[in-house]
Amino acid sequence: MKKLLDITITLIFSPVLLVIYPLILMVIYISDGSPGLYKQQRVGENGNSFLLYKFRTMDALSSDDVHQEHYEKLSKKETIEPSLTPSKPIRIENDDRITNIGNFLRKTSLDELPNLINVLRGEMSIVGPRPLVKYESDLYGDYQKIRNTVKPGITGLAQIQGRLDLSLQERLYWDLEYVESRSLFVDVKIIFLTFYYVVTRKGAS
């Protein structure tokens, strides 16, 4: 049923996406050059890596080292424990690597649309924990094994709780909560709430 939901939603939006995709790529190219698509290795179901597709939102020459150093600083290089205790949010404040068009794409979550390619390839689901890069995944230690028992998603329980306003500890808490409570009803609820939060831009970067 979950796979059927993934395919149905993707097919329903396909006609619109066929128009939006080239428009976004054209705007990125005009405003900031190529490439328009960003590809990155992420950790997926059962710890298998896959190539994630997104619209590029950062300067083409930007380095991932800044992101990795930020996460290691947030974790103090220790294994993250699930917790709802308030802590520093995931977001990097005033990140000058993000382009003007990239800022818009992130605020509207349009940068994630190419994730649907990964859904069609069976590497992701519409709903599930967001796929992490390996150095992020490693910060969660053995908890990551539990997190990876399901397919990663375009949106998830953590995203409707605050997205980048969450801390690493809070994101892990909600991701594990999703693994334990997942159902078709929960997925549908998360999808509807995601649309609401995208419109209100709650927790957007």
Give per-10-residue mean pLDDT for the chain (205 aa).
90 86 93 90 96 93 82 80 84 85 90 93 96 92 95 94 84 95 93 85 53
Residues 6+ apart with CB under 8 A from 112: 54, 154
Does a structural domain hold residue 16? yes
Q: What is the pLDDT of residue 201?
A: 64
Q: What is the pLDDT of residue 202?
A: 59
Q: What is the pLDDT of residue 200?
A: 74
Q: What is the pLDDT of residue 205?
A: 45
What gap in Å lies between CA 165 and CA 108, rounded to an integer? 15
41 beta partners = 51
Cβ-based burial of 189 (10 A; exposed 0-12, middle 13-18, buried ≥19):
middle
Number of domains comprising the chain: 1
Does a structural domain hold residue 72? yes
Asked if 135 and 45 touch (Cβ cutoff 8 Å), the reply is no
Does a structural domain hold residue 147? yes
Does a structural domain hold residue 141? yes
* Token pair recorded at residue 83: 């917790």
Does a structural domain hold residue 146? yes
Residue count of the chain, please give it. 205
What gap in Å lies between CA 164 and CA 182, rounded to an integer? 22
Does a structural domain hold residue 205? no
Does a structural domain hold residue 161? yes
Q: 7 vs 49, 73, 106, 116, CA distance in Å?
A: 22, 39, 24, 9
DSSP label at residue 130: P
Q: What is the pLDDT of residue 196?
A: 85
Q: What is the pLDDT of residue 56?
A: 94
Instruction: Give the domain extent around 69.
Output: 2-200
Q: Please state, as a whole number, how many other Cβ atoms lie within 10 Å of the Cβ of residue 163.
A: 24
- pTM of this prediction exceeds 0.85: yes
